Structure 1
Amino acid sequence: MTETGESGGRKYDPAATHNFPDERLNAILPDLLSDPEITTYLEAQNVNAVTRKGYNDHGTKHVEIVRNRALNLYDLLKGGDVGFNGAIDQDLDEADEPVIIALAATLHDIGHVVHRDEHVYYSIPLAADLLDRLLPEFGFYDASEAVRMKAEVLHAILCHHTEEDPLTTEAGVIRVADALDMERGRSRIPYEKGGRGINTLSSQAIESVSLRPGDGSPVLVEIEMVNAAGVYQVDNLLKAKLDGSGLENHIRIVAVNTKAEDRLVERIEL
């Protein structure tokens, strides 16, 4: 994996050395990322979220960060011998695990085109229609396999919010990755419009997020805060997504306040 982008998102690197097959994902990603209907959804879903409701970005950039971090989590968890059960339970291939993750990460927020409130439930029928078209076009799946892939992607989409607990590791990855889009600048739009809610202020306090292999756990998430307001992002939002994800025992989170004059909270460890 290599770090790219102003927001610290991580790009999936097909040249990296893995202990699992990723040729199918690499074949599918270009078509997924360039599909005109999907790219339009990612732009349109920001209208209700940002323009009308004043939330932080939930469009193309958010999806890119979530997808990259989800694939990064997948790499690290697989490298730590964490089992994935979504594809296996459906008699699909191991190569389908990262495809499920990439598809769910890309489509998880499209329900925003209907409404920000309860958007996860609107994402399901919209994503189902897209998957009915996309999966056969990819050329890897017969009718039965396409239905099983669709089932796993929709489950992961549904569980990215905390109302529904993930039943698969793939779904848990999407839920945690969604919360890892938390650096400052991600709240730039509502902040510049005068937004001063706790979600906006706290995300201004997060300088960077990085993922790497942990010592004693497959994944270490390191978060740099520049003031104590970042505690809300870590303890209320990220912890809420991690709890019930099925990944609690595999991900260690360390957040450090690096601003010398603000030591109200110096370090949080989950």
Structure 2
Amino acid sequence: MSDTEETQSAGRIYRPSEAHAFPDDRLNDVLEFVENDAEITTYLEAQNVNAVDRKGYNDHGSKHISIVRHRALCLYDLLKQSGIEFNGARQQGLEEADEAVIVALAATLHDIGHVVHRDSHSYYSIPLAADELDRILPEFYTKPDAVRVKGEVLHAILCHHTEEEPLTREAGVVRIADALDMERGRSRIPYKKGGRGIDTLSSQAIKNVSLQAGDDYPVLVEIEMTSAAGVYQVDNLLKAKLHDSKLEQFVRIVAVQADETDELVERIEL
């Protein structure tokens, strides 16, 4: 990987082969299983039909899930680098290695309910994800631990929308990561089909989202916009999900607006 490619992927891509601030062997085994599972792959493709083809929303399929999972694990890693403690797995008597598994599985399955309906999909996701977890978790856990991991994953899935309050920091990571998929590529399909809703238009204004360690905060989220339309994504979606995530005191959001020549116009802390 070139220096440029490595810089561009920083805070964006979780790489199993790299060193992390948490025990990652169990996570990497689970990821290998999930990424090669035909049933999950089919769900991720099918869940985009209601969201995009029938409702005209932004992408909620396999690409969205990949981005959210990568961002969630990068966010989790940055928080762990700063010594932030997580409570979900710990309070269930599970191991630290299970924290990342909970985050990854919830990020993978959080939108599966779209196969039923876009509206209230987080609630439809629960029974569908439960069935998938009953199939996946016995590959890696004994029955008691599988039950506890399942509960934590379902909690994180339910709380990825703002209607429900996350009670764990693992759930907070998934909630925030879902909103971090806001770059213009996410709105490509509905935009090409003529969709001009606020979600689509505001996504078109987001050029780049990066995650990095901050000077005064464990995590700095820097969002590069080409127009003020992107503020909707940042203020109405990302900030709303950061609120009550149990992580708001650790994350700083900065929006940078640049003109067409990439000259800085404004830098705003939100």
The answer to whether TM tops 0.5 is yes
2:135 maps to which residue? 133
The answer to whether structure 1 residue 213 and structure 2 residue 213 are counterparts is: yes
- Matched letter for residue 223 of structure 2: I
Alpha-carbon contact 2:86-2:170 (below 8 Å) kept: yes
2:228 maps to which residue? 228
Alpha-carbon contact 1:220-1:252 (below 8 Å) kept: yes
Report the count of equivalent residues. 265
1:200 maps to which residue? 200
1:153 maps to which residue? 153
**Equivalent of 1:33 in 17, 32, 35:** 35
- Matched letter for residue 32 of structure 1: V
**1:7, distance to aligned residue in structure 2 (A):** 10
- Matched letter for residue 21 of structure 1: P
The answer to whether structure 1 residue 78 and structure 2 residue 74 are counterparts is: no
2:188 maps to which residue? 188
Distance in 2 between residues matched to 1:149 and 1:188, nearest whole Å: 35
**Corresponding residue SS for 2:130:** helix
**1:197, distance to aligned residue in structure 2 (A):** 1.2
- Matched letter for residue 267 of structure 2: R
**Equivalent of 2:45 in 43, 46, 49:** 43
**Corresponding residue SS for 1:257:** strand
TM-score by length of 2: 0.94
Structure 2 matches for 1:1-270, cutoff 5 A? Answer: 10-138=12-140, 141-259=141-259, 266-270=266-270
Distance in 1 between residues matched to 2:13 and 2:262, nearest whole Å: 33
Alpha-carbon contact 1:9-1:65 (below 8 Å) kept: no
| Alpha-carbon spacing, 1:127–1:90, altered in 2? closer, same or farther (3 Å) | same
Distance in 1 between residues matched to 2:10 and 2:39, nearest whole Å: 27
| Alpha-carbon spacing, 1:261–1:29, altered in 2? closer, same or farther (3 Å) | closer
**1:13, distance to aligned residue in structure 2 (A):** 1.5
Q: Which has the higher helix share?
A: 2
**Corresponding residue SS for 2:176:** helix
Alpha-carbon contact 2:220-2:254 (below 8 Å) kept: yes
Alpha-carbon contact 1:7-1:183 (below 8 Å) kept: no
**Corresponding residue SS for 2:248:** coil
- Matched letter for residue 152 of structure 2: E
Distance in 2 between residues matched to 1:248 and 1:154, nearest whole Å: 22
Extract unaligned runs of 5+ from structure 1. none
Identity between Structure 1 and Structure 2 (%): 73
| Alpha-carbon spacing, 1:202–1:9, altered in 2? closer, same or farther (3 Å) | farther
- Matched letter for residue 229 of structure 1: A
- Matched letter for residue 215 of structure 1: D
Distance in 1 between residues matched to 2:217 and 2:267, nearest whole Å: 19
State the Cα deviation string for residues 39-97 of structure 1 (Å, max 9, x = none): 00000000100111111110000000000000000100000111100000000000000
**Corresponding residue SS for 1:220:** strand
Alpha-carbon contact 1:184-1:206 (below 8 Å) kept: yes
- Matched letter for residue 184 of structure 2: R
- Matched letter for residue 29 of structure 1: L
**1:262, distance to aligned residue in structure 2 (A):** 11
State the Cα deviation string for residues 212-261 of structure 1 (Å, max 9, x = none): 10111110001000011011111111111111111110001101101169
Alpha-carbon contact 1:255-1:267 (below 8 Å) kept: yes
Distance in 2 between residues matched to 1:116 and 1:203, nearest whole Å: 19
Distance in 1 between residues matched to 2:57 and 2:10, nearest whole Å: 20
